[in-house]
């Protein structure tokens, strides 16, 4: 359950960061694929936040075999 909460928080924080990036920095000409649309920027930020959260979540360690 804790792992899902960490992933959810990472997704929400990333999406908020993506939206804020579009709002303050975004491309106004429309030639930028990610930052020209708030939807694209929010989704991209959410994916990045989710990936970062997954890297910090518990039980992501690789177990070595004793063979």
What pLDDT score was predicted for residue 9?
92
Residue 11's domain comprises 2-56
| Sequential DSSP letters for 23-37 | HHT--SSS--TTTTS
14 phi and psi angles, rounded to 5 deg:
-65, -40
Whether residue 63 lies inside any domain: the answer is no
Residues in the chain: 67
pLDDT digits (tens, 9 = 90+) for 10-53: 999 999 999 999 999 888 787 888 888 899 999 999 999 999 98
Number of domains in the chain: 1
Average pLDDT, stretch 58-64? 60
Give the predicted TM-score (pTM) of the model: 0.76
Look at residue 39 and tell me if it is in a domain.
Answer: yes
Residue 33, in any domain of the structure: yes
Question: Has residue 50 been placed in a domain?
Answer: yes
Within a domain: residue 34? yes
Q: Is the pLDDT of residue 65 over 70?
A: no
């Amino acid at each position: 359950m804790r792992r899902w909460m960490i992933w959810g928080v990472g997704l929400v924080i990333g999406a908020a960061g993506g939206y804020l990036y579009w709002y303050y920095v975004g491309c106004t000409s429309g030639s930028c694929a990610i930052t020209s649309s708030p939807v694209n920027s929010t989704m991209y930020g959410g994916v990045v936040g989710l990936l970062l959260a997954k890297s910090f979540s518990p039980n992501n360690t690789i177990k070595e075999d004793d063979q």
